[in-house]
Amino acid sequence: MTGDWRAGFLAPRLRWVQVAKTARSRGLAALQDEHRLELAACDFTTGEVRRLGVPTDGFIDSAWVAADATSAFFLADEGGNELGHVHRVTLDDTNAIGDMTPGLPDYALRGADVSADGETLVLDIVTDEGYDLVCLPARGTPVASPRHLVRTVHEAWNCRVSADGTVATLDTTDHAPGTRRFAVTAYDTATGAVLGRLILPSPGAANAVCFSPHPGDQRVLIASQRAGDRSGVLVWDPVGDTIVELLEETAATVVPLDWSPDGRHALLCVELLSAQWLERVDLRTGERERLDLPTGSFRSPYLRTSQFGAGGSVLASHEHGMSPLRLIAWHAPSRHRVLLGGDGSPDRAGFEHVVFPSSDGTQIQGWLARPTGTGPFPAVVHCHGGPHVSVADEFTPAARAWVDHGFAYLTVNYRGSSGRGRAFEEQIHGDVGHWELEDLAAAHRWLVDEGISVGGEILINGESYGGFLVLYALGRQPELWAAGIGEVVLADWELTHHDSPLAMRRLDEMLFGGPPETHGDLYRERSPLTYVDEVRAPILLWQGSNDTRTPPGQVVAYAERLVARNHPFELHWFEGGHGFGDEGGHLAHLDRAIAFARNAVGG
């Protein structure tokens, strides 16, 4: 670790990069600097990254580049509330912006795609009426009302459209409401007629990744997950009604990412506990080739992906614990070079991969960063959001900040995290908070047993679902934690449910097995607010005033209870939604968090 974490934190860096489908030497990126997180047009050949003046929220699925890279589409919301309209911004010098759906009410978005011929835009929009798959021209003057293909009241994510715009898919749960065991449903974009539905045997799930790049070819690349931790890749033709099972893994998790522009290969990310690597698979022969790239990670759910580039290359979005995103072009074995990003410094040691047993013997995996020296150190146990995502070896400037202030930092892929198979992911459904807290207690135990830390000097920190875990742990395991630090936290499930849009309510219903009207006892039993009087440790919270995922009211209710008990806490509000837009604000928060933590451990 180095002492330059502040500069590393504030230096401009890429958060994600998207490659245009038919102009693969250009694309779109999210560029983070001290003050803003905004969209930028990229030329991978010249290395130019041009800011568009359009704010974004860090999720890769909040903006999409047009197939020919002449424009991009993004959800323009109100102050980060994630409700609004999709707008188009031209990627020429004018940066002209226009509303694509002026006739619609505000909506949340759960997917979008543009056809390779550049003509058709499909959107998965969510209002309180349900999830609607709509289709509209991607070019020219916006139409008054887009073509409505289907409405469902059950969760439906991630729409895709074929190269010629005639077939669209939606990942649906109508066959298994209240789960995320998605099926892929294909629709005729002219009529909305269902062309086919790919349902894997329960508890399997299928997700559409992308269509064949060739107009007239309606085959779709599918990510499959099945019982017994099996993950695989299928090629499904909803029109010809054929399925080709390309490959399946049991030991590792395999996730298809892209279909090459010449139609010959699929790009895969293979994940095995501590490692991620990219492979290319020949779609005719099934032959697999591992790409020789630096160690680190190449994708992160919702946040970052790797894709094919121009001329048969692969554009790897590479990160590791101490190195921000860099776009590496892989051409052939031993022939790759950095096109964009990184911080220019040579690779340095970052996270250590660690594994420890939980109370039931399940091995839990995490990433540890620690100061040099023998310790023991005060420590931060970090809980990611989601819950169904996982932390890979990825750039975590906060970890560097904690370590440079003498703390060990352990981020935990607790039960419910993705990447360990369906059973691991779904074990928390109907039992929210139980196994996660067992796993966090195991992390605490492991830090002490290994001599990395001592019992009274371990804090818990997390954001969003991880913020729920912070408050829940403080109330249910008050003897373990020296302090709690949360960002965009969830303090009460029922209040959250009532203040949330449908797109978020469906997540609560999946986690609890139903809405508060029928499962109220469980919602209350698993809410931090129920245990607020048990909390002993000081609390520091940071919350967005326009957040629709972890809305303000439920945190205010929690804070009022702390005030009534005269319990030490700080609640800071920022102008924004479910996360910080500016690293300056984030840095101020981190400065405060480290001072607060030092005070809590008597440092």
Ligand X SMILES: CSCC[C@H](NC=O)C(=O)N[C@@H](Cc1ccccc1)C(=O)O
The binding site for ligand X (CB under 6 A) comprises 302, 385-386, 388-389, 464-465, 490, 507-508, 549-550
DSSP state of 532: G
Nearest distance from C-beta of residue 493 to ligand X, angstroms: 8
Q: Residue 313 or 550: which CB sits closer to ligand X?
A: 550
Q: Residue 302 or 569: which CB sits closer to ligand X?
A: 302
Nearest distance from C-beta of residue 550 to ligand X, angstroms: 5
**CA 256 from chain center: how many Å?**
16
Q: Residue 283 or 507: which CB sits closer to ligand X?
A: 507
Helix (H) or strand (E) holding 211: strand 205-211
Nearest distance from C-beta of residue 301 to ligand X, angstroms: 7
Q: Residue 258 or 509: which CB sits closer to ligand X?
A: 509
Alpha carbon distance 315, 148 (integer Å):
35
Q: Residue 135 or 470: which CB sits closer to ligand X?
A: 470
Nearest distance from C-beta of residue 336 to ligand X, angstroms: 30
Rg (CA), the chain: 23
Beta bridge partners of 220: 211, 236
Nearest distance from C-beta of residue 62 to ligand X, angstroms: 11
Nearest distance from C-beta of residue 40 to ligand X, angstroms: 22
Q: Residue 107: CA atoms inside 13 Å, Cβ hemisphere, count?
A: 27
Q: Residue 54 or 507: which CB sits closer to ligand X?
A: 507
CA distances from 442 to 69, 359, 366, 379, 448 (A): 48, 7, 11, 14, 10
For tokens 């929009």, name the residue: 125
Q: Residue 52 or 490: which CB sits closer to ligand X?
A: 490
Q: Residue 388 or 444: which CB sits closer to ligand X?
A: 388
Q: Residue 238 or 466: which CB sits closer to ligand X?
A: 466
Nearest distance from C-beta of residue 602 to ligand X, angstroms: 31
Alpha carbon distance 401, 406 (integer Å):
9
Q: For 304-315, what is the HEC assignment?
A: ECCEECHHHCEE
Task: Verify cis geometry, omega within 30 degrees of 0, for the bond prior to 376.
Answer: yes
Q: Residue 315 or 507: which CB sits closer to ligand X?
A: 507
Alpha carbon distance 147, 157 (integer Å):
18
Phi, psi (rounded to 5 degrees) for 143: -85, 155
Q: How many CB atoms lie within 10 A of CB 499?
A: 17
Nearest CA among 234, 192, 179 for reference residue 210:
234
DSSP string, 314-376: EEEEEEETTEEEEEEEEEETTEEEEEEES-SSPP---PEEEEEE-TTS-EEEEEEE--SSS--
Nearest distance from C-beta of residue 176 to ligand X, angstroms: 16
For tokens 């890279």, name the residue: 69
